[in-house]
Structure formats: C-alpha cells, structure tokens
Chain A
Amino acid sequence: DQQVKQNSPSLSVQEGRISILNCDYTNSMFDYFLWYKKYPAEGPTFLISISSIKDKNEDGRFTVFLNKSAKHLSLHIVPSQPGDSAVYFCAASEGNNDMRFGAGTRLTVKP
C-alpha cells in the first residue's frame, strides 16, 4: 500500500520560473515530512523538511508547504535553475524515523 504518492512522474520548467512538485499521503499519523533530491548514480540527499505543527518552511529558493486537512504537501523552487534538474522524492514519517517515500518526480529545468 503506497502511503506516500507523487502522481507526476516528471515535470519540465523553464529556467527562472517556479517549479512546483506535489505529494499526497494517506496516513494521518504522519507528523514529519521531507524532500530528498537525487542525481543519477548517487544516493538521495536531504533537501528540506517540515513538521506537522507548521504549514510552511522556507530555505533559500526552496519552500515546502503542508496542508494537513488535504494530506498534501508541495515543494516550490523559485527561481528554478538547470542544476535543480534531478529526481525529487517526498517522504513522511510517523513519530519515529521509519520513513516512507513516494515514487519520485523527475524535474527538468531547461536553460
């Protein structure tokens, strides 16, 4: 059972524009959410996180929004840069560090 879902396998945006990656989850007990970035032939690296007590967390060009009622979170990247091209994984955990991941979204930022 896929508890974390990323329904868009790919996304293409122009350099300088905003990238919005979406993630939905089904387990209402999840209380911590993370985004990971993965380049080819490398392991995923942590990007940004948000606790369920917040609805927004910002770190430079990256902002994560959490809508608990909709069980939805999104990652905004603005402005997008070609170096942001990677696969982005959404992850969630329930009170511990048993992290469940989505299937990933491949972001391509075109120069």
Chain B
Amino acid sequence: DAGVIQSPRHEVTEMGQEVTLRCKPISGHNSLFWYRQTMMRGLELLIYFNNNVPIDDSGMPEDRFSAKMPNASFSTLKIQPSEPRDSAVYFCASSLTGTHTEAFFGQGTRLTVV
C-alpha cells in the first residue's frame, strides 16, 4: 500500500482565496483524521471521521474551515476564505476503527497564505 496520500505537498495562496487540501487514506482504514501542526500546540486535531461520518469537529477553528468525506477513499479539507494565520502544515491520518490502534500519517501539506 502507498500509505496515506495527501495533495498538494505545498500550497501558496493569497489571503481571501479558497484552499482545498486532499487526502486518500490507506485502503481498508475506516477512520480518518485531519490535524494541523503549529509550533505552540503541536498536532491539533481538527476533525475525524468514522466510516465517512464526521464524529468530532470541535477542533475546527471556525466556520471558514470545512471537511468532507464523500467516500471511504477520499477526504477534503477546505478553507474559505483563507487568512495568513492559517499558514501551517496540515496532516491527514487514517487508522482501523477500534480501540488501541495507531494512526498512519500522510506527508502533510504545507500551506502558506500571503
């Protein structure tokens, strides 16, 4: 398996523009997570899905952020409109649903909003 695949690897956009980050989880994994890495807070959980259903989105910063998982092999994280403070590395991870399992991470998308 190729692992969790995220695209793009790097994204530079202007403030106010819409940004869409994409994730393909590991085949067979039915839990998917979106994290944002910041210097102060480390890996912040933004939202996670079980079987394509959002379970906890309390970590989503504000209404400008939205995430979807239309099927088991694809998820998007959208920021509209983007702001400079959204600049960070965004990671997607997937795991088998159940207790005591580890998550496998993608390589991340480095977002820069200028």
Choose, from B11-19, B61-69, B78-86, B98-106, the stretch at the interface: B98-106
B42 interface residue (CB < 8 Å to A): yes
| CB-based contact A42/B55 at 8 Å | no
Name the contact of A97 in the complex, choosing from B40, B95, B105 (C-beta under 8 A). Answer: B95
A contact patch SS: loop
Candidates A32, A34, A103; contact of B40 at CB < 8 Å: A103
| In the complex, chain B residues whose CB is within 8 Å of the CB of A34 | 102
A46 to B96, CA, bound (A): 14
Q: How far is the CB of B85 from chain A (nearest CB, A)?
A: 18
Number of interface residues of A (CB under 8 A): 27
Most chain B Cβ neighbours within 10 Å, of A31, A45, A95, A98: A98
Given the complex of chains A and B, what is the CA–CA distance between A6 and B93 in angstroms?
21
Contacts of B34 on A, CB cut-off 8 Å?
none
**When the two chains form their complex, are residues A43 and B108 in contact, meaning their CB atoms are under 8 A apart?**
yes
Q: What are the residues of chain A within 8 A of B48 when measuring CB–CB?
A: 97-98
Q: Which of B34-50 contact A (CB under 8 A)?
A: 35, 39-45, 48
Q: How far is the CB of B24 from chain A (nearest CB, A)?
A: 13
Total residues of chain B contacting the partner, CB 8 A: 29
B105 touches A101 (CB 8 A): no
- Do A41 and B42 have beta carbons less than 8 Å apart? no
Q: Shortest distance in angstroms between B49's beta carbon and chain A's nearest beta carbon? A: 11
Interface residues of A in 94-111 (CB under 8 A from B): 95-104
The verdict on A25 contacting chain B, using a C-beta distance below 8 Å, is no
Task: Name which residue of chain A comes closest to B39, CB basis.
Answer: A103
**B99: which of A41, A97, A100, A104 is its contact (CB, 8 Å)?**
A97
CA distance A51 to B31 in the complex (A): 20
B42 touching A99 by the CB < 8 A rule?
A: no
A32 to B31, CA, bound (A): 17
Per-residue contact bits, chain A 69-98, to B (CB 8 Å; 1 contact, 0 not)? 000000000000000000001010101111
B interface vs A, CB < 8 Å? 4, 31, 33, 35, 39-45, 48, 55-56, 91, 93, 95, 97-108
